[in-house]
Structure 1
Amino acid sequence: MANFSIKKAGFWQALVVILLNQLPMMAIVALMPALPTLMGHFRDVDNKDLLVPMILTAPGICIALIAPFAGVLVDKFGRRKLLIWFTAIYGLGGILPFFLDGFNTVITGRLLLGIGEAFVLVIGNTLLGDYFAPKDRSKWLMVQGFFGSIAAALLLALSGQLASIGWNFPFLVYGISFFITILAVIFIFEPEEKFTSEIDSVSSETKFPVNTAIMVFLITLGFSVIYFVYTIHFSRALDAMGIKDPKHVGNLGAIASTAVPLGALIFKLVSKRPFWQQMALIFLFFTIGLAGIGLAKDTTSAVAVGWIQQLGCGMTIPVLVAWALSLLPVQYRGRGMGFWTSAFFLGQFVNPIFVSSIGKLVGNVQDTFLATGIICGIVFIIILLLNIFSKKAIN
């Protein structure tokens, strides 16, 4: 017979987990429309084309370094108390740059946010596994994708409005995390028992599966670097097309992001398909979207192909989270999701370096999008070929 937690999770626990898992998205999306404004405000910073975008991505390096240790602590000391403390730390680090002006002090606030974010994301995804069986996880991951897309669209429009007031005003949105902290205090409980391996379809192991964790890390890292090309740099592509107003940038980004809930729905529809098929579909959307932005002659076509790219973004996180949870033993779930979280946000931090390196080879930002789209197309073809040849080898 199935072993559930003494307290059974339901709607309110799922809602809090969904809200928690929006905080990493908010960490970067809230500043997307403000990137040209930030570039202007910090125009005197040496090597600003590389360093200023790291205001968006600096939390990623904290998460990449801290998440594996956060996972160990979460498995050892539990979920609830750490979640409450670090959600509040996220909020504190998030709003600090509103009151600070120097580039180094702004980065410091972003690093503090990153520390909180590392624990929040590890615990949020771990609780998703602790509270819900695989079938319910897919449902809530789909709901999370729908909710996240709506939240991202509203956030893009709001932050664009705030950026038009001043470069530091978008940082105020991080105060929302204090409200989520209160919800966590009320509704989150410590799981007293986890699902058995029979319910979870995950093996029970006495040792941490290092090889599995490395595989999860590397595949997630590759996805992440590509995932953030659009998220971080689309505003730069629009700026190159002559769209200078942060409000207009935010609104155009919000239009493209309406595809994200459809991506979440596609995930639900293909969630029972093999992982390689889900992965190939994501790279197909990335290929069309990123290469299309590179070839776009106007903002209308750029937003249209950006919409297709966002289908892939809507699939990416639920596909990767569901896949990782399906591989990780229950007793090492926190540590395993620490590896996943580390890889995903290492990719966020590495992304500006990746994009800057390609940009130096190919030229302007649109050429960089085109080159990245071509890379995604090559990956898509490799995935198909590997599976064709593996099937022939088996036969």
Structure 2
Amino acid sequence: MANATISPALPGLERLFADDPNAALLTRLLVPAPSLSVALFAPLAGIAADRIGRRAMLLAGVVLFVIAGCAGLVLPDLPSIFASRLVLGIAVALIMTAQTALIGDYFTGDDRNALTGLQISARNFGGLVFISLAGWAATLSPRLSFAIYGLAGAFLPLMWLAIVEPPRIAAAPGATSISGDDGHPSWRGLLAALVLLQGVTNMIFFLMPTQISFFLETRGYESAVMTGTVLGLLMISGGGCALLYRRAQRAIGSTGIFAAGYAAMALGFLLLAGMASTPALLIAALLIGAGYALVSPGFVVMALDLAPARSRGLAGGILTASIFIGQFCSPLASMPLIAAFGYGALFGGTAGLLVLMALIAGAAALLYPKA
């Protein structure tokens, strides 16, 4: 819900605040604005989660999410709405960091794998529902899409009752968790590599929501209709495939899933690079959505396995930041390449990079089949 929910309302907001000389720029910044705040604050939120606890941070984050998200209903101008979007990003950083740490605290092994798959599935299906709802709301009023953020408040009573602070030991030299989970001896370096990989993965995936409408215009499509179809297929295929994560992890292991997911994404982008028909476009969307949904739970699972229990908040915060840094950097990296070489070369080069990533993951799966 954080970034894209208000996307259907942007043209209406630009018209509503047409007297603002910066209306065109500010309305386009409303969607990525939360990403910047998440990238900056998520690591700090991770440190706070390890020191003051997860439950209070999660509840505070949801309250702030509702307030900042709904603020666009009443704020008088675009600069103040933009500021509220930055605050919304802080709320998202608190929520995502705390929930990642709690997944590590509450669940282990196969149960953790199952939950991370369900989490990615919920993001996809929830995104489909809420963006569709926002589109309907935007036809009534450009401000009404902001009301959708208030739905998060409905979960507060359940969270208050169900979320309990897990027993823990504050981070300190020589401290160990109650469960004896001290993590991997080289967890910092391995986590850094994992975070970098997740950032690159999200930067690649975000080519779809940021560039697909412009690409479709160059191919003569009615971009608004077809863009909605493509993004809908991304979410549907992603939501369905994420539900299979636990079974896939049991069958081929984490590295095998990375190989399969990156291979599917590579084939999808290859189809886009040489797209000759509408069916090829739709199949590409299905493959990219499925591949991304397969690899996404693995980042959380592996990070929680690597980090000691006392540092799960920090690991979750850094992992959260990398998602939004990748999203934020995606258009910055892709637009110069599009200007220089065109969409076909961009998608073809992306497919080549994904093939390389799939081959590396496949080699790791053969060398370390239990990883």
Calculate the TM-score normalised by the size of structure 2: 0.82
Give the secondary structure class of the aligned counterpart of 1:56: coil
Q: Which residue of 2 aligns with 1:304?
A: 283
Q: Which residue of 2 aligns with 1:84?
A: 59
Q: CA deviation at 1:129?
A: 0.8
Give the secondary structure class of the aligned counterpart of 1:127: helix
Q: Which residue of 1 aligns with 2:310?
A: 331
Retained in 2: the 8 A contact 1:64–1:345?
yes
Cα shift readout 1:267-313 (whole Å, capped 9, x = no counterpart)? 22332434433222222222232343454456554333212211023
Q: Which residue of 2 aligns with 1:265?
A: 243
Q: Distance in 1 between matches of 2:275 and 2:5?
A: 25
**Equivalent residue pairs, number:** 358
Structure 1, unaligned runs of 5 or more: 1-25
Q: Which residue of 1 aligns with 2:328?
A: 349
Q: CA deviation at 1:112?
A: 0.6
Alignment map for 1:168-179 (pairs within 5 Å):
168-179=143-154
Q: Distance in 2 between matches of 1:100 and 1:47?
A: 15
Q: CA deviation at 1:373?
A: 4.7
Cα shift readout 1:147-169 (whole Å, capped 9, x = no counterpart)? 33332222232122223334433
Q: Distance in 2 between matches of 1:379 and 1:256?
A: 17
Counterpart selection for 1:281 from 260, 268, 288: 260
Change (3 A) 1:137 1:202: farther
Q: Which residue of 2 aligns with 1:15?
A: none
Q: Which residue of 1 aligns with 2:172?
A: none
Q: Distance in 2 between matches of 1:166 and 1:234?
A: 26
Q: Which residue of 1 aligns with 2:116?
A: 141
**Does 2:174 correspond to 1:214?**
no
**Does 2:314 correspond to 1:314?**
no
Q: Which residue of 1 aligns with 2:29?
A: 54
Change (3 A) 1:159 1:384: same
Calculate the TM-score normalised by the size of structure 1: 0.78
Retained in 2: the 8 A contact 1:152–1:254?
no
**Does 2:134 correspond to 1:164?**
no
Structure 2, unaligned runs of 5 or more: 170-175
Q: Distance in 1 between matches of 2:64 and 2:54?
A: 15
Q: CA deviation at 1:89?
A: 0.7
Q: Which amino acid aligns with 1:79?
A: R
State which drifts further: 307-316 or 61-70: 307-316
Change (3 A) 1:113 1:236: farther
Identity across the alignment (%): 23
For the aligned residue pairs, the C-alpha RMSD in angstroms reads 3.4
Alignment map for 1:95-174 (pairs within 5 Å):
95-100=70-75, 102-174=77-149
Q: Which residue of 2 aligns with 1:225?
A: 203
Retained in 2: the 8 A contact 1:293–1:305?
yes
